Structure 1
Amino acid sequence: MLLRPLDPWCGVVVDYGDTRVFVDVTDRKGPYVKRADAVIVTHPHRDHYGGVPRTEFGELRADEVTAALLGMEDEAEPLRSSFEAGLLDVRTYPVNHMCPKAHAVLLSGDARVLITGDWCALGEHPPLWELVDDEVDAIVTECTRAASVHPDDPEAAEYRIQRLLELHREDRTVLLLTHVNPLIDVASEVEILHVLEGDPVDEAVKAGAHEGADLEVVSRPEYPLVTSSVGTVEGLSKRPHVLITERWFLYRDREGRLRRLLDAVPYPYIVSGTGHASAAELVRLVEELEPEYLVLRHGSPDGVRALRKRLAGAGLDVRVEAWIGRRGGKLELP
């Protein structure tokens, strides 16, 4: 079995005999390789599915929301808990992330490779190390938070957004949308979705991304906003009506639309939230599954160094490969 990066961000190529599988295809650059027997998408975030239209494939495996966002409902096969992709046996596991449709993927041939997508231990699903019931030869995972200065503790600032959602669950929580991805990420936690007039969410809503929440179309917001960028939670108890969106969407808000909305409301509150594994969670995953190799994707050199230090401090004998940006070679198993 041969593993290599598909693109500079998250995509992985798995070659096994005559079978070639892509797991995730980013929208950023690439892919380096264009043709696969099967493409498997771990979750409906554009940086993991957006490059799919630029590939050729025999089969697409994706959840119904991802398929709708791609406009490939007729082509996509369900992302079942187990299936075959050519010569490879595939199992999927539901994981906790900022959207409710995230999965990790285990590919088995003459070796076993776990590709986590984006995940964290905190949430409705058991931690990933409890779901995978055997050792694996290699793990491919993100290291976005490996260099985080925050404590690896469920009570740390990164998890306040989950506690806030619990606090407001009995109130009329409002989600204002300016893009489809924030809808997918947190709609399962709210009761009413206020969708901005003209917002391109139709296909995602038809696919069930709103998780049964009531929908209202509005032309302008008249309530405070809460966003998952770094900031403070002070004052949230003053008003039960909150808006929640993603930190990365603020970063990608090239036209400044959401920022202008933030400026237009009287009390914009900002909350820190995450959907990625902490360094402690990554170390625990290695401890429990005992891979020979750990491959790190879409993080930073600082994160790689920090995680290497944490693994060594825990006495774990694992070979760490870093496929960050344009760096990254290939890994042959076993």
Structure 2
Amino acid sequence: MTADAEALAAVLRAVAVAVLARPGAAALPPDPDRLVEERTPMLLSALERFPVLRRHAAGHLAASGADDRARALAAVLLHPDAGVVRAGLAWTRPVRDRAAERDARKIEALRKRLRTSEGRLAYARKDARDNAERLAEAREALAEKEGRVAAMTQLLAIEQRRSADPRGLAAALLHVLEQGGSAPAGGAEARDPQAPARSEDARHNGHLVAAARATRRSPEEVLVFLRDMVEPAAPPPAVTADLGLRVVPLGGHDHIGGSCLLVEAGGTRILVDAGLRPGERARPPRDIERALDGRVDAVVVTHAHNDHCGYVPRLVAERRYLRVLATPETVALMPMMWADSVKVMAAAERGHARWGTDTAALYGSRDVEEAAQNCEELAYGVTRRIGELNIELFPAGHILGAAGVVIRAGDRRVVVTGDISGFRQETVGGYALSESARSADLLVMESTCCGEEHDDREIGVGALVRAVEEVHRGGGRVLIPAFALGRAQEIALIMRRHLPEVPVRLDGMAVDLAAVFEGLDRGLRIFGGGTAVADRPAELDTFRTGVVISTSGMLNGGPAVQWARRILPEPGSAVFVSGYQDEEAPGRALLDLADRRGGFVLPANGRDVTVPVRARVEMMRLSAHADRRELLDIADEVAAREVMLVHGLPKRQERFRDTLRVRGHNPVATVPWRAG
């Protein structure tokens, strides 16, 4: 600061002291130096206008021991004559301007330092958020691995319990011995009395022949012994062939999900499927209480998707004696689906508890073990008796282990397709009706896609392969959110067959189910070559080109959400949605947003995060359900007296009923039915 500036500052400080001594100064800064710094223009104006203030300021300056230069300047600025003061103020203007410029430079330098500090703070906060996110992802990955270990441990315990149960052992042995055994009723020998007789060994599989020789019994005696262990005592013979066969839809009849069908005859009551309804929280079949008002002898499960089997553990918890019949593949897959439901329901219960809402889990891990122990494996084409009903399964396509059901009561028969498809997939062939299904009294048929006509399967596969190849060739990566059971394994095998050079990563629950697929069918080799388990969280950023197949299929949770947050902002990458999307699902919202781009909201560590959508987003249609034409073919093949539609949407079902009538069938309403 120059000597003139110092002198001016001394005078202004004396003026500030005089101002603060006045009664009306309570609203001003109490410190003279701060008052000079913040209110210099006000002090200069008061200095010019008020002689009394100048006189008091002169006294304060004299008392402060100011130097000669300050006293000389005060003689002008604090002069009694206002004209002299104005002249002095004009003389000091350059001094004040230079001081103001210096102050401005200091302020700008301070502001620059502040901006730099704020930038560093912003980077630090971003780093902290990124690190917290990575930590959360690492914890999630660790929790998933621990969950897998716990699930595998539970499955091992289930198998150990089943192996220690004589009835369970008998059911498993019966399944092995019945495969490839004597021709079932309605088979070639039954239809053709002129067919040449086969030898004892030729009419049974090798295991059964060996068991018969070891026990010194006939094969038939071995089977009867095991069946007596598995099946309750037979009821007395019916006086009439009419046992009052009745079918009551309890869930999934005019909607998709929560499938459940009550079948009654004589004193026997069974369920075909007992699924969960989709939504934010797990819910039972809509009218399940109508079945629980009395004894339920068994539940026959068509396949392992949760909308068909997810409620079974709750049923077993309420009916400990309940028999659960399904194909060996479905028996192997269901406990994994149930264990995942336990985890999802527990998380929902914890989350809703924080908001004071009641979302109690339908069942827990112990219930899963009990339900798994009650499972009985039933091979395709083999008849099993449940009270007054006889049950036979036939291949239904759709997913590995899926079955349709033929239920016989006396001379009446009901056929339930379950979810069904006629085309060959990578993991399963199409449906194959048993002879016992033909000319049934009632066909209960799924109608998920009764209003659609799909392209040939290979056309859809080709479109997916070309799209993936295009993105991969451009250096991008592809996320395919997929349902854990069936769809994920199907897509992985499509990639391995058509694009073996493209790296593929499988993530989430699909990994464990893929391992079960490989164990169930030695012809299915999902892992190997370029297909491996995703190393998350590391590969979220390091797996830069290839295909990620991850749960959940609707982007409402699971590892797919983490991958989507990385891949959606990448212009050269893609997200290909591959399956059905609920109206409220994030996957549906993403497809709606695809054409106009913008920001997409995804959950992240308990909060919503908006990510820009720069990646290519498309729907790849690879349905595992029969379309309109295939459903008509199924109806023609069964040629039932009446047809009931389930597992579909009401308006589409009504239009399809009209089509069935035109085709010569007799569709009935989806309401309780009795054999006429």
Q: Shorter-chain TM-score: what band?
A: 0.7 to 0.9
The question of 1:60 aligning with 2:324 is answered yes
| Alpha-carbon offset, residue 194 of structure 1 | 2.2
| Deviations 1:129-180 (CA, angstroms, capped at 9, x unpaired) | 57766321111112122223xxx3643xx7643445787999x998866763
**TM-score, normalised to structure 2's length?**
0.40
2:378 corresponds in structure 1 to 79
Kept in 2: contact 1:144–1:300 (CA 8 A): yes
Kept in 1: contact 2:394–2:433 (CA 8 A): no
Question: Could you tell me which amino acid in structure 1 is paired with residue 460 of structure 2?
Answer: I
The question of 1:286 aligning with 2:628 is answered no
Kept in 1: contact 2:602–2:611 (CA 8 A): no
1:16 corresponds in structure 2 to 265
Question: Could you tell me which amino acid in structure 2 is paired with residue 291 of structure 1?
Answer: A
| Alpha-carbon offset, residue 12 of structure 1 | 0.6
1:318 corresponds in structure 2 to 666
Kept in 2: contact 1:226–1:268 (CA 8 A): no
User: Partners in 2 of 1:224 and 1:193 — Cα distance?
Assistant: 5
2:18 corresponds in structure 1 to none
Question: Could you tell me which amino acid in structure 2 is paired with residue 247 of structure 1?
Answer: Y
User: Partners in 2 of 1:174 and 1:250 — Cα distance?
Assistant: 24
> Rg: which structure is higher?
2
Kept in 2: contact 1:296–1:304 (CA 8 A): yes
Q: Higher RCO, 1 or 2 (CA under 8 Å, sep at least 6)?
A: 1
Change in CA separation of 1:134 and 1:262 when aligned onto 2, cut-off 3 Å: farther
Change in CA separation of 1:319 and 1:205 when aligned onto 2, cut-off 3 Å: closer
User: Partners in 2 of 1:296 and 1:109 — Cα distance?
Assistant: 21
| Alpha-carbon offset, residue 265 of structure 1 | 7.7
| Alpha-carbon offset, residue 189 of structure 1 | 4.1
1:194 corresponds in structure 2 to 505
Kept in 1: contact 2:506–2:549 (CA 8 A): no
SS of match in other structure, 2:615? coil
RMSD of aligned residue pairs (Cα, Å): 4.1
* More moved, 63-72 vs 248-257: 248-257
User: Partners in 2 of 1:184 and 1:209 — Cα distance?
Assistant: 10
User: Partners in 2 of 1:79 and 1:260 — Cα distance?
Assistant: 48
User: Partners in 2 of 1:136 and 1:168 — Cα distance?
Assistant: 45
User: Partners in 2 of 1:216 and 1:261 — Cα distance?
Assistant: 28
| Alpha-carbon offset, residue 5 of structure 1 | 1.3
| Alpha-carbon offset, residue 243 of structure 1 | 6.6
| Alpha-carbon offset, residue 313 of structure 1 | 2.2
Change in CA separation of 1:52 and 1:130 when aligned onto 2, cut-off 3 Å: closer
2:443 corresponds in structure 1 to 139
The question of 1:299 aligning with 2:598 is answered no
The question of 1:112 aligning with 2:413 is answered yes
Bigger fraction of residues in helix: 2
| Alpha-carbon offset, residue 2 of structure 1 | 0.9
1:96 corresponds in structure 2 to 397
1:4 corresponds in structure 2 to 248
Aligned equivalent of 1:37, options 297, 316, 326: 297
Q: Which runs of 5+ in 1 are unaligned?
A: 230-238, 323-327
Kept in 2: contact 1:115–1:140 (CA 8 A): yes
Kept in 1: contact 2:406–2:437 (CA 8 A): no
Kept in 1: contact 2:464–2:620 (CA 8 A): no
Question: Could you tell me which amino acid in structure 1 is paired with residue 638 of structure 2?
Answer: L
SS of match in other structure, 1:207? helix
User: Partners in 1 of 2:648 and 2:378 — Cα distance?
Assistant: 26
2:590 corresponds in structure 1 to none
User: Partners in 2 of 1:169 and 1:136 — Cα distance?
Assistant: 45
Change in CA separation of 1:246 and 1:80 when aligned onto 2, cut-off 3 Å: same
User: Partners in 2 of 1:169 and 1:78 — Cα distance?
Assistant: 39
1:246 corresponds in structure 2 to 579
Question: Could you tell me which amino acid in structure 1 is paired with residue 667 of structure 2?
Answer: R
Kept in 2: contact 1:161–1:271 (CA 8 A): yes
User: Partners in 1 of 2:403 and 2:479 — Cα distance?
Assistant: 24
Question: Could you tell me which amino acid in structure 1 is paired with residue 312 of structure 2?
Answer: V
Change in CA separation of 1:332 and 1:23 when aligned onto 2, cut-off 3 Å: same
Aligned equivalent of 2:488, options 183, 204, 228: 183
User: Partners in 1 of 2:612 and 2:490 — Cα distance?
Assistant: 23
Count of equivalent residues: 310
User: Partners in 1 of 2:275 and 2:401 — Cα distance?
Assistant: 17
* More moved, 247-256 vs 4-13: 247-256
1:212 corresponds in structure 2 to 525
Identical aligned residues as a percent: 19
User: Partners in 1 of 2:651 and 2:383 — Cα distance?
Assistant: 37
Kept in 1: contact 2:468–2:478 (CA 8 A): no
Bigger fraction of residues in strand: 1
Kept in 2: contact 1:224–1:266 (CA 8 A): no
Superposed counterparts of 1:123-138, under 5 Å: 123=424, 125-128=429-432, 134-138=438-442
User: Partners in 1 of 2:609 and 2:396 — Cα distance?
Assistant: 34
Change in CA separation of 1:185 and 1:296 when aligned onto 2, cut-off 3 Å: farther
| Deviations 1:270-329 (CA, angstroms, capped at 9, x unpaired) | 212212222222222222221112111121222122112212222x1413222xxxxx3x
